[in-house]
Structure formats: C-alpha cells, structure tokens
C-alpha cells in the first residue's frame, strides 16, 4: 500500500527531527503552496521554542511534503520537467535536488 493511500489522520513518527531543514527545501521548490508556508512558519516557531514537530498527520504531509506531491504539475515545473512527466521521475528529480540543497 502506498503511504498516500493511508487516512489523513494517520500519525507519522519519523526517527529524526529534520523538519525545519525539510521545510526550507520544500519552500525552495514549492514557494506558492499556502499550506506549506503556514506549516514552515509553525515549524520554525516550534523549533525556536524547543518543541518537537513530530508526530505529524499524514494529511498535513500530503499537503506540504513535495515528495508526497510528485504528481502535481507545479512540482514537475519546479524541477524543470514537462507537465505530464511521470511522478516517479519528478520524485527522482526532487530527491536529487534535496541531496544537493544547501
């Protein structure tokens, strides 16, 4: 089963606290995403207050995590790919961009 197929209220418990860095990357490829902008500001506030950002609902991840939105035309464009590019290729381009993100 694909992760995106799980219910939105599913809680995600990752084994690390990289949310602030992940939000910075996500904003670099998806800056016009309103949900992401709200989430990034909240993550910044939480980390500055010494709070953990996990667990997080899968619904919020679906709205803000570019890797879970690789089927969206805006993310294909952000990666310099044509609209209609297979989501797997968009995902691979996102992964490469994240690996090179400073």
The model's pLDDT over 6-24, given as tens digits with 9 standing for 90+, comes to: 999 999 998 888 999 999 9
- The whole model's pTM is what? 0.91
Residue 80 CA neighbour count, 13 Å, CB half: 4
Mean pLDDT of 81-96: 97
Which CATH number characterizes residue 40's domain?
3.60.15.10
- What average pLDDT does the chain have? 95
Mean pLDDT of 19-45: 97
pLDDT of 1 over the 70 cut:
no
CA nearest neighbour of 10 among 43, 58, 48: 58
Q: Is 21 helix (H, G, I), strand (E, B) or coil?
A: helix
Mean pLDDT of 43-54: 96
Query: Based on the structure, what is the number of domains in the chain?
Result: 1
Host domain of residue 70: 3-100
DSSP H or E stretch at residue 90: helix 87-100
Distance from C-alpha of 64 to C-alpha of 49, rounded to nearest angstrom: 22
């Amino acid at each position: 089963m694909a992760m995106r197929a799980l219910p939105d209220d599913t809680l995600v418990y990752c084994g690390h606290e990289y949310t602030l860095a992940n939000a910075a990357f996500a904003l670099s490829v998806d800056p016009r995403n309103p949900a992401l902008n709200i989430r990034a500001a909240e993550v910044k506030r939480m980390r500055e207050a010494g709070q953990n950002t996990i667990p997080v609902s899968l619904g919020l991840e679906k709205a803000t995590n570019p890797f879970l939105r690789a089927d969206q035309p805006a993310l294909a464009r952000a990666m310099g790919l044509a609209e209609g590019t297979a989501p797997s290729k968009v995902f691979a381009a996102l992964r490469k961009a994240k690996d090179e993100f400073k």
